Structure 1
Amino acid sequence: MRQRTAIVIGGGIGGLTAAVALDRRGWSVTVLERASGLEPGSASGYPAKGGGGAQPSGAGIGLAPNAQRALDTLDVGDAVRAMAAWQATGEIRLPGGRRLARTDNAAAVRRFGGPVVVAHRAELVALLAARLPEGAVRTRAAASLVDAGDPRAAGRPARVRIEGAADGREEELTADLVVAADGIHSAVRRTLFPGHPEPRYAGFTAWRLVVPAPARPYVAHETWGPGGLWGTVPLHDGRVYAYATAAVPPGGRAADDERSELLRRFGTWHHPVPALLAAADPAAVLRNDVHTAAAAPPAFHRGRVALLGDAVHPMTPNLGQGGCQAVEDAVVLADIAAPDAHLAAALTAYTRQRLPRTMDVVRRAERIGRLTTWRSRPACALRAVLMATTACLAPDLALRALDGIADWRPPGATYAARARGTGAAALPKEHE
């Protein structure tokens, strides 16, 4: 039989996961990335201006147990878990330092089968790209969909046009399957569903930065203040991934630089926030407005094209599931679209499995995101009381938000299940 071909538009984490998964299923895969290299910087849901897959490096990504199990099917889950900096606990705080609640990685393992791993996006992208055949990834290749094709007609493949070919001329490729992982402002989505509402501004913007660890000890935390929050998470290489959000009008930029803007907003908050900002390179602070899906799309596919990740279900970062759901999409799509499968039926099944789940996560993340935008003193005081009280009565408060999400398991036995005799990742050996 002729080997089936797939084109993946977008070289971010979702696109590369799809490429690796399809390659392992026997597809001949080409990844088209418009940027000059695979250097991710925007966390899922925050593309840099102009959209696209890869962006300049400088951000982390959280991978909950559901995403780790999906990556286990590609035999890369253990390598991802090795990127984690182990911390037994994390905290939810107020700007002055008062602790409202505590999170426990051991409790996450008991509840979901594994802890949340926070990795540097560049390392994860490099890990995935290394699993692809040489020459499978083409950079400086801005792709647009010319024809979605017809999965019921062998003589009508999907057609993709590439701008930025080596000789400067346009190039056209055909494929049995196109996977659109081209980000929140997906041009492919607009082509497939021209009347569908564009993602809408979620009411807050986000900053992300990676800096050296402070000299004084600290505990991983997320701190909630009026109209925004700050998070600090260690990386395995000794650096720190920090993120912040604030309820501001869309499209804003600091008059001087974004580090100065963060200092004005968060510079008086508890340790280690001032120390991290003091160590930050102003040029390396990423700022992007946060968007969320305005409505569920008619489908996650049309013709021979499957939409994936932010291209079809952008979400706020408040559950840490943007990248995780893209990884799930990729693994499910590859499992359904076996080389000998009927493609039309496979893509219909992909929509049926992924649309309800991901849109539920979109709505749940958005509800939490709205809580972070509360600004008035009475509202923030009420929020703090509710969080502290609930944490006392239900210590797993922060984890319960992920019920039905982080406990997801991919189709088939995972590598971790075969290797360890369990269906889930375990604690590091020193904590077993």
Structure 2
Amino acid sequence: MVNPLRAVPIAIPTGAAISFAPNAWLALDALGVSHKLDSIYPPVNRISVTNLGTGATQETSLTGKFRDGSGPRFIHRKKLLQTLADELPNGTIHFSSKIAAIDSQTHDGSSPVFIHLVDGTIVKTKFLIGCDGIHSTVARWLGLSEPLNAARSAGLGLAVFPEGHGLNKELRQFVDAGMRAGYVPLNEKEIYWFLVCKSSAEEENKAGNPVLLQKEVLEKYAKVLPPFFLDIVQRSDVSTLHWGPLMFRHPWNVFFGNLSKGNVTVAGDAMHPMTPELGQGGCQALEDAVVLGRHIGNLLIKTKGHIGTTGDNNVAQAIDGYVKERKWRVTGLVIGSYFSGWVQIGGSNWWMKFLRDVIFYRTLLGGLLYKMAGYDCGKLPVVSLGENDSPKLEMEMVEEDVVIIGAGIAGLATAVALRRLGIKALVLEKSDGLRATGAALTLFPNAWLALDALGVSHKLTSVYAPAKRVFVTNLGTGATQELSYAGKSGIGSGPRSVHRQSLLEALADELPDDTIQFSSKIAAIDSQTLNGSSAAIINLGDSTIIRAKVLIGCDGVHSMVAQWLGLSESINSGRSSVRGLAVFPHGHGLNQDIRQFVGVGFRAGFIPLNDRDVYWFLNRYSPPKVEIIVKDPELIQREVLEKYDNVLPPLYLDVIQHCDLSTLTRAPLMFRRPWDILFGNLSKGNVTVAGDAMHPMTPDLGQGGCSALEDAVVLGRHIGNSLIKNKGHIVISGDNDIGQALERYVKERKWRVTWLVTGSYLSGWVQNAGSNWLMKFLRDVIYYKFLFGWTANVACYDCGKLPSVSLGESDSSNPGKID
């Protein structure tokens, strides 16, 4: 089975759109996917080039110039990636897989390749294909030279016209000394645009700030480019804006370099990075795929479905054939692309203009473009094998006792609870490290009782002081209510707000080093019954299969385990939240109080974490169909400051102004319907859920993280009691088996968390109330004066302790053994 390793957690469509000449469509046809795209994206049949210096425009018709009678097509890059990915089995792509090193060894005449991942995983493969882009790790291992800066840079983006743009389906370009710009419609509402200009090799990459990129283009070229092009740039979706240097590999390094070594080769930008002037970068990547597949397919036919790594007709020979076929063509395209760009944005002297306007556009463009874009890379062979010869897939099966999916608060706390009972769990986390999304959270006394039961509260209570008072200011009337936590808490103190990272690290430090397996993406979950006992089967994205005797899903709001159990999807509450961490290097001088400000449709607040850090939030009404979630933290900060400039007090705005942008997030507030929790399947046999996977709730009572910690202790208590009854063994069949322990955990938890989800939603609904007198009365009188005490009672709940698992001498050697 082929397993693509991807360094990032999703397929990133950098570049917004891409040009595909007919040669690319022939490759897509060979791959069997062209029909999914050609009905959506019609071809461009005309190109016009305007010389901004003279005002002259040259038009070139593409009708009838190519084999299929049509010109190039411009498509969304994301759509292309999705179309290709849809043809693959679910477990094919292993995201968040960062390569640390590559090595090879020769043993008994074969040379397997070893891929070392950053998380410590070592992948052994029979052959390796590097498609890892311009700065390819595989190309570097082969000894290929690093790509060079072409002394040109490119900005590009996608403009959106909600009411339609009314343009014809043609490519418009504008050239001037040192610059080339253009645009082409993708559909009736979207236009792809680009700008290529001269730049020094040392020029800073502007990709990090799309707003500044847009502003610079508009200001620098305001008097150069036509108004409609500037309007297109102005209408750009800033999330699609990108700026970067144009890179290429020296042609002689492509032609004479090691494009393969034994069972290792490269394709796409990893082999032949080129500048975009001929629009052939993506086209050549598709050609590579077909040609490489053709040579490997021919090998399969010769060997009756077996890919050998030694002897005659081995995979290295197939790869050599692929390299020999490709290097001539791609070397010519690297050269042609570079010189095409050099000519098109040449200088202002007469001979450069002559080369561009007369030689290139009138003479070379047609012949070069048509010949290059009409190339047919061929078809994939038909591999017809007998039934007994069809390739068989061998997957690695791993046996684990307890698997926890998700290394958030619930997952780590549950692992700690089991650790206290002598049970070692394997925690699977899809990210490449502990995720601290949200910056901070408030933990009420019930959470501290749970942390005390887990044996970690002392690590945090000495660092984070409790809040004694809450001040709630009505921004409409200016009235402020003071609410005290004194005497309302069973342990004599109010809530403490902590850095989320500190909480996660405090929990993780209690676990053995090999407990958490990062970059583990779950592809599918299944169950298996064997000899009367059942087990959960977890399929990872890298094709590893884990057979777990107990599975606990702590994988968040959009939990795969909850989905497998049949629980309904979380829904949007109609509110969203912006949160961040403000940093005052010289101290903020605030008291350890919670300050909140309520207005029509929103609630804002802040609380100090220590002398320098202040956690702040803004919850507001935002209908799901209207809300557009912006992910750029700088844009989020600017929007909040501008929108609430005359509404929120200066002190609050100063807190936002001091925000560390790396901590700033914005997201819709999700929850699960209470009746789906109360009557839904929260467990099935040896599988259950905890934390947000069980009971996602809005943050209005501050109980999301608190109840996750409670879950861990209660689940640990029931599993611990099962251990005691079975003398240190977790039984998966018969009386007092683990399934019964999980059922008791669910029965104890579902009533409390159902009320917490209900109370959180209604609390937010009241506090974000409208402007009519009834809603104000409910908020200012009923809720803050009378119901606030109920929230204090919720926060005083004691989830209990973990049992002391004291076993006899004969049983103590292996506590927590699962039979």
Given candidates 548, 551, 560, the residue that maps to 1:178 is: 551
The answer for the alignment partner of 1:304 in structure 2 is 686
CA offsets per residue over residues 126-167 of structure 1, 9 Å max, x none? Answer: 10000001111111111245324569943x32121222xxxx
- Post-superposition shift, 1:296? 2.3
In structure 2, what residue type is equivalent to 1:204?
R
2:639, 2:459 → 1: CA distance?
Answer: 36
The answer for the alignment partner of 1:141 in structure 2 is 520
Given candidates 230, 235, 252, the residue that maps to 2:609 is: 235
Confirm whether residue 104 of structure 1 aligns to residue 484 of structure 2.
yes
Given candidates 461, 474, 481, the residue that maps to 1:81 is: 461
% same residue: 25
2:437 counterpart SS class: coil
In structure 2, what residue type is equivalent to 1:401?
T
The answer for the alignment partner of 1:400 in structure 2 is 790
Output the aligned Cα RMSD. Answer: 2.7
The answer for the alignment partner of 1:328 in structure 2 is 710
Contact 2:609/2:615 (8 A) holds in 1 = yes
In structure 2, what residue type is equivalent to 1:182?
D
The answer for the alignment partner of 2:619 in structure 1 is 245
The answer for the alignment partner of 1:198 in structure 2 is 569
Given candidates 389, 412, 415, the residue that maps to 1:16 is: 412
2:424, 2:512 → 1: CA distance?
Answer: 9
In structure 1, what residue type is equivalent to 2:563?
R
The answer for the alignment partner of 1:35 in structure 2 is 431
1:129, 1:366 → 2: CA distance?
Answer: 31
Contact 2:486/2:492 (8 A) holds in 1 = no
1:97, 1:123 → 2: CA distance?
Answer: 39
1:238, 1:117 → 2: CA distance?
Answer: 16
The 5-angstrom pairing of residues 346-361 of structure 1 reads 346-361=741-756
The answer for the alignment partner of 2:313 in structure 1 is none
- Post-superposition shift, 1:96? 6.7
1:260, 1:138 → 2: CA distance?
Answer: 38
CA offsets per residue over residues 76-99 of structure 1, 9 Å max, x none? Answer: 122232232344322111237934
Confirm whether residue 410 of structure 1 aligns to residue 805 of structure 2.
no
2:616, 2:538 → 1: CA distance?
Answer: 38
2:706, 2:531 → 1: CA distance?
Answer: 31
Which structure's CA Rg is the greater one? Answer: 2
CA offsets per residue over residues 255-277 of structure 1, 9 Å max, x none? Answer: 97111221133333124211112
Contact 2:570/2:696 (8 A) holds in 1 = yes
Confirm whether residue 373 of structure 1 aligns to residue 749 of structure 2.
no
2:640, 2:669 → 1: CA distance?
Answer: 17
2:558, 2:507 → 1: CA distance?
Answer: 23
Name stretches of at least 5 consecutive residues in structure 2 with no aligned partner. 1-398, 724-728, 731-736, 805-819
In structure 1, what residue type is equivalent to 2:645?
G
Contact 1:93/1:99 (8 A) holds in 2 = yes
The 5-angstrom pairing of residues 252-271 of structure 1 reads 252-254=628-630, 257-268=635-646, 269-271=648-650
Confirm whether residue 224 of structure 1 aligns to residue 602 of structure 2.
no
The answer for the alignment partner of 1:425 in structure 2 is none
Given candidates 301, 304, 313, the residue that maps to 2:695 is: 313
The answer for the alignment partner of 2:508 in structure 1 is 129
CA offsets per residue over residues 267-297 of structure 1, 9 Å max, x none? Answer: 3312421111221244542001001112324
User: In the comparison of the two structures, how many residue pairs are matched?
Assistant: 382
1:234–1:348 distance in 2 versus 1, CA, 3 Å: same
- Post-superposition shift, 1:100? 3.2
1:29–1:367 distance in 2 versus 1, CA, 3 Å: same
1:153, 1:234 → 2: CA distance?
Answer: 55
1:330 counterpart SS class: helix
The answer for the alignment partner of 1:212 in structure 2 is 583
Contact 2:718/2:741 (8 A) holds in 1 = yes
Contact 2:717/2:802 (8 A) holds in 1 = no
In structure 1, what residue type is equivalent to 2:504?
V
1:210 counterpart SS class: strand
Contact 1:144/1:162 (8 A) holds in 2 = yes
1:14, 1:358 → 2: CA distance?
Answer: 14
The answer for the alignment partner of 1:187 in structure 2 is 560
- Post-superposition shift, 1:380? 5.7
2:590, 2:525 → 1: CA distance?
Answer: 54
Contact 1:100/1:384 (8 A) holds in 2 = no
Of the structure 1 ranges 114-123 and 268-277, higher mean CA displacement relative to structure 2 is found in 268-277
1:152, 1:287 → 2: CA distance?
Answer: 49
Contact 1:229/1:245 (8 A) holds in 2 = yes
Contact 1:88/1:106 (8 A) holds in 2 = yes
Contact 1:68/1:80 (8 A) holds in 2 = no
2:503, 2:638 → 1: CA distance?
Answer: 30
1:262, 1:153 → 2: CA distance?
Answer: 58
- Post-superposition shift, 1:15? 0.6
Name stretches of at least 5 consecutive residues in structure 1 with no aligned partner. 43-58, 164-168, 416-432
- Post-superposition shift, 1:61? 1.0
1:10, 1:399 → 2: CA distance?
Answer: 34
1:272 counterpart SS class: helix
The answer for the alignment partner of 1:428 in structure 2 is none
1:86–1:97 distance in 2 versus 1, CA, 3 Å: farther
2:499, 2:671 → 1: CA distance?
Answer: 23
Confirm whether residue 68 of structure 1 aligns to residue 440 of structure 2.
no
Given candidates 759, 762, 768, the residue that maps to 1:364 is: 759
Contact 1:189/1:307 (8 A) holds in 2 = yes
The answer for the alignment partner of 1:47 in structure 2 is none
1:68–1:283 distance in 2 versus 1, CA, 3 Å: closer
1:237–1:174 distance in 2 versus 1, CA, 3 Å: farther
- Post-superposition shift, 1:174? 1.6
- Post-superposition shift, 1:186? 0.8
The answer for the alignment partner of 2:378 in structure 1 is none
The answer for the alignment partner of 2:422 in structure 1 is 26
